[in-house]
Amino acid sequence: ERQRLTTEDKKALDANKTLSEQGLEDDCTIYFKDLGPQIGWRTVFLIEYAGPVLIHPIFYYLSKAIYGTQVAHSPMQTACYYMVMAHFIKRELETVFVHRFSHGTMPFRNVFKNSAHYWLLSGANLAFWLYGPWFAKGKAASVRNDVWLYGSVAVWAWAEISNFFTHMTLRNLRPPGTRVRAIPYGYGFDLVSCPNYFFEFIAWSAVCFLSTSWSAFLFNVVATGQMYVWAVKKHKNYRKEFKEYPRNRTAMFPFIA
């Protein structure tokens, strides 16, 4: 999808429809733009999420080479490791088997910028500070009581499962091979337009609460800020496209914004 056609009012044309189906007549003007080298969104997502999946095991299992000492991981570190790994493996599987993309491609140059967020912030930076000797077994900073540990894991698991259900709802709205848009209803969508982002925020907040690592908080703040920007954009598009769109919904955070 390297080419983009637009009308004089800068409205993008649907490549799957004829010009007449889009209300264009013989004397209309169409603008052509070469978007440059493109890469599929599915491939982009797979590359992005592969970063943490590859990086975290290196820091977790090769601690002597990285920190200069063999780290005896605390229960907190072990729990966080499996939470992070499960999250990104889930994302990879959803990319392959669940997501149906409204846009087929993006500029190839953007893959490096997009991947930096995951490979650096939730990859190297998070892993380095999360699995270091300062949080090792026996260190005061790593001590967590059972309520703290298992409560955090339980909230994280609920949020991840909820996130998956909202992704399935979005998938079922769009028939294969189409770009059909419809109003999503059901679990999570009663109060917000993008509950998948809200549940991801909750999942990462559980990691933050359990680890107390500044690197986890940094990633969560940056990721949540970006998701909120996307949520507001999608929320506005829903309200603009569908006159019957529920007015009680907020973009991402129930009753707030």
* CA separation for the pair 158, 151 (Å, rounded): 11
Nearest to 50 by CA among 114, 100, 2: 114
Shared domain check, 92 and 114: yes
Q: Would residue 96 count as lying in a domain?
A: yes
Shared domain check, 23 and 48: no
Shared domain check, 19 and 98: no
Instruction: Tell whether the model's pLDDT for residue 1 goes beyond 60.
Output: no
Buried b (16+ CB within 10 A) or exposed e, 174-185: beeeeeeeeebe
Q: Would residue 201 count as lying in a domain?
A: yes
Paired residues of 4 in beta bridges = 33
Average pLDDT over residues 171-188: 89
Average pLDDT over residues 71-100: 97
- Segment 175-178 long-range contacts (CB within 8 Å, at least 24 positions apart): 176/100, 178/16
- Report residue 14's pLDDT band, with 50, 70 and 90 as the boundaries: low
Shared domain check, 191 and 152: yes
Q: What is the pLDDT of residue 67?
A: 98
Shared domain check, 85 and 10: no
Shared domain check, 146 and 122: yes
Full-model pTM:
0.86
* CA separation for the pair 67, 49 (Å, rounded): 25
What count of other Cβ atoms lies within 10 Å of the Cβ of residue 214?
11
Instruction: Tell whether the model's pLDDT for residue 76 goes beyond 90.
Output: yes
Q: What is the pLDDT of residue 39?
A: 87
Instruction: Tell whether the model's pLDDT for residue 27 goes beyond 80.
Output: no
* CA separation for the pair 119, 115 (Å, rounded): 6
Lowest-confidence segment of 28-32, 138-142, 228-232, 244-248 by average pLDDT: 28-32
% helix / strand / coil in the chain, to the nearest 5? 60, 5, 35
Total domains present in the chain = 2
Q: Would residue 250 count as lying in a domain?
A: no
Lowest-confidence segment of 110-119, 153-162, 192-201, 209-218 by average pLDDT: 110-119
- Report residue 82's pLDDT band, with 50, 70 and 90 as the boundaries: very high
What domain range is 156 assigned to?
Answer: 36-241
Paired residues of 5 in beta bridges = 32
